[in-house]
């Protein structure tokens, strides 16, 4: 291996490890939102949490789970009575029975822009489950 590349590898590693040690010492993560305490969003969640009629099912791309803000977790924590749940994966059909039933139920709506998209309204009382995709648009496809 080229000695310069070797050196670069070692320097990178040292830096990463150093940062990790630093951040562990400086800031502890919130147990609820899993974010560093300095950027914890828990105090901003609505109290009491809003009651929703439909169940909200968030299908999250694994890449999104790694991104820092954790909006899906925010929704799950922010909606009353655990009506919002998050599933992580890339391909969902066939993953499990409960999810399969939710996805094929006539009362399920997918929140996604497109030619055949319809506007939801408060009068849509037959919406039992609202499926939301969490990821970049490329990942959502
Ligand atoms: Zn928090």
Residue 10 in this model has a pLDDT that exceeds 70: no
16, part of any domain = no
Q: What stretches of 1-133 show up as alpha helix (H) in DSSP?
A: 3-26, 62-66, 71-78, 97-104
130, part of any domain = yes
- Number of domains making up the chain: 1
Q: Which has the higher per-residue pLDDT, 110 or 5? A: 110
Strands 84-88 and 55-60: parallel
In tens, the pLDDT along 44-81 reads 999 999 999 899 999 998 888 777 788 899 999 999 99
What does the pLDDT read at residue 27?
A: 63
How many angstroms is it from 27 CA to the middle of ligand 1? 13
Q: State the DSSP H helix or E strand holding residue 139, giving kind and residue range, or none if neither.
A: helix 137-140
19, part of any domain = no
How many angstroms is it from 44 CA to the middle of ligand 1? 9
21, part of any domain = no
What is the percent of the chain where pLDDT is above 90? 35
80, part of any domain = yes
Q: Which domain holds residue 126?
A: 49-140
Regarding pTM above 0.85, the answer is: no
How many angstroms is it from 24 CA to the middle of ligand 1? 16
């Amino acid at each position: 291996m080229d000695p310069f590349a070797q050196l670069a590898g070692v320097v990178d590693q040292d830096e990463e490890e150093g940062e990790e040690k630093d951040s562990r010492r400086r800031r502890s993560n919130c147990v609820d939102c899993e974010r560093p305490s300095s950027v914890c969003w828990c105090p901003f969640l609505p109290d009491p949490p809003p009651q929703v009629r439909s169940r909200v099912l968030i299908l999250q791309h694994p890449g999104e789970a790694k991104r820092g803000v954790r909006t899906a977790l925010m929704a799950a924590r922010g909606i009353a009575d655990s009506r919002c749940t998050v599933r992580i994966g890339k391909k969902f059909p066939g993953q499990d029975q409960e999810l399969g039933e939710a996805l094929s139920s006539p009362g399920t709506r997918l929140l996604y822009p497109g030619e055949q998209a319809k506007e939801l309204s408060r009068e849509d009382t037959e919406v039992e489950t609202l499926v939301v995709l969490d990821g970049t648009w490329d990942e959502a496809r």
